[in-house]
Amino acid sequence: MPIDSYPTVLLIPGVLGLIIFVLVYAGVVLPTIWSRHPERRKAAHRTLDMLLKARRGLRRLGR
């Protein structure tokens, strides 16, 4: 691998991870906290709970 492309290889996964984190945070976590409507808070909370359980399941598999 050429030396000049090495930082780009490391940068792309980091940027993609940051984008996914921001989208999940803005789309799931913030509505769980800030919504005035109880139905929206409950739905966002269920979604967040489902995502966290899925993440824990991936950790058990070693990913």
The answer to whether residue 52 sits within a structural domain is yes
What does the pLDDT read at residue 52?
84
The answer to whether residue 54 sits within a structural domain is yes
What pLDDT, in 10s, does the model give residues 8-22?
666 677 788 889 888
Residues of the chain with pLDDT under 70: 1-11, 61-63
Distance CA 6, CA 9 (A): 5
Distance CA 22, CA 40 (A): 19
What does the pLDDT read at residue 45?
84
The answer to whether residue 12 sits within a structural domain is no
How many domains is the chain partitioned into structurally? 1
Q: Which amino acid is at 47?
A: T
What does the pLDDT read at residue 24?
83
What does the pLDDT read at residue 9?
65
pTM of the model: 0.57
Range of the domain at 39: 31-63
The answer to whether residue 51 sits within a structural domain is yes
The answer to whether residue 26 sits within a structural domain is no
The answer to whether residue 61 sits within a structural domain is yes
Scanning 1-63, the segments in alpha helix (DSSP H) are: 6-24, 30-34, 38-61
Determine phi and psi for 2, rounding to 5 degrees: -65, 145
- In sequence order, the 6+-apart residues with CB closer than 8 A to the CB of 31 are 40, 41, 44
The answer to whether residue 15 sits within a structural domain is no
The answer to whether residue 41 sits within a structural domain is yes
